[in-house]
Copies of this chain bind each other. A is one copy, B any other.
């Protein structure tokens, strides 16, 4: 249904990628899709092999000044302090209540420097914030937040912080017989309630991080709840593992923007089949943000590994 709806522009022969500027990145995308479809005169790739995977934060939507989900969980921490003010003496609740951007920024900076002590404090608080909550309640909270909250500096709702050129690419792939998955380091169940509407990707095709879940039977549906036990983050070397677990195939296209996407991009290669690995470069301080922190290794290996760099500043006519 979604792919039919999204197929419109291609079906009538108009440009499927109007927000992409002419250039090497756009040429690589068009040539890859044409090659897979056999539009270049070669043998088409079987439809069931046409699998694409996309990181979400910083690849499909804006992740600065903080990931959307961090805004979501900070509000939950504040809510917890309101219910139990004693929590406000401890981190991460204190930082959440005081809107202490410095503590959060140092947590991220220390994480990138290899020191995860504060990150673990933050993660433990987040897990406590949802422990015992059913997956249905979590879904409702996520949906409610995403439908109402806005970006802190861009002056637009979060749901309008997706990158238009990437949404066009997803639609072009769907119209070309691809099945696309979101392989996010962020929360799987956080994104699912809006993935169809934002990206044309249904909830069952969202892969991502999660708390460990627990099921308790009651003969009447049972309760599936979040526990305070962390599961492995869907990042770095875990991404190929989770993609295989979910899909049972290697993808032909992978798109990311950070070091945590490197393994996934590496994984998107099949003997004898075309592949496209896209690394989005955040170099557009005017329209979005300009940063390379957390992407240094990915940028360094892109040329050697045959990845296609996509410059937000140069390759995109429109960002949002």
Q: Is B248 touching A224 in the complex (CB atoms < 8 A)?
A: no
Q: Is A222 touching B267 in the complex (CB atoms < 8 A)?
A: yes
Q: Is B213 touching A245 in the complex (CB atoms < 8 A)?
A: yes
Quickly give the copy total for this chain.
Answer: 2
For A220, the chain B residues whose CB sits under 8 A away are 266, 269
| CB of A206 closer than 8 Å to a CB of B | yes
Task: Tell me, rounded to whole Å, the shortest Cβ–Cβ distance linking A29 to chain B.
Answer: 21
Contact of A266 among B217, B262, B267, B271 (CB under 8 A): B217
| CB of A112 closer than 8 Å to a CB of B | no
In A170-205, which residues have CB < 8 Å from any B CB?
A: 179, 188-189, 192, 202-204
Task: Tell me, rounded to whole Å, the shortest Cβ–Cβ distance linking A56 to chain B.
Answer: 15
Contact of A248 among B189, B222, B238 (CB under 8 A): B189
For A147, the chain B residues whose CB sits under 8 A away are none
**CA A237 – CA B48 in complex, angstroms?**
32
In A205-252, which residues have CB < 8 Å from any B CB?
A: 206, 210, 213-222, 224, 237-238, 240-241, 244-250
| CB of A117 closer than 8 Å to a CB of B | no
Contact of A244 among B47, B213, B249, B262 (CB under 8 A): B213
| CB of A89 closer than 8 Å to a CB of B | no
Interface size class of A (residues with CB under 8 A): 35 or more
Q: Is B192 touching A222 in the complex (CB atoms < 8 A)?
A: no
For A131, the chain B residues whose CB sits under 8 A away are none
**CA A262 – CA B217 in complex, angstroms?**
9
Task: Tell me, rounded to whole Å, the shortest Cβ–Cβ distance linking A187 to chain B.
Answer: 12
For A267, the chain B residues whose CB sits under 8 A away are 215, 221-222, 224
Please give the residue numbers on chain A whose beta carbons come within 8 Å of chain B beta carbons, in ascending order.
1, 47-48, 135, 179, 188-189, 192, 202-204, 206, 210, 213-222, 224, 237-238, 240-241, 244-250, 262-263, 266-267, 269-271, 301, 304-305
User: Can you report 30 A-B residue pairs in the complex whose CB atoms are below 8 A from each other?
Assistant: A135-B244, A188-B245, A188-B248, A203-B248, A203-B249, A204-B247, A204-B248, A206-B248, A213-B241, A213-B244, A214-B237, A214-B241, A215-B237, A215-B238, A215-B263, A216-B237, A217-B263, A218-B266, A219-B266, A219-B301, A219-B305, A220-B269, A221-B267, A221-B269, A221-B270, A222-B263, A222-B266, A224-B240, A224-B244, A224-B267
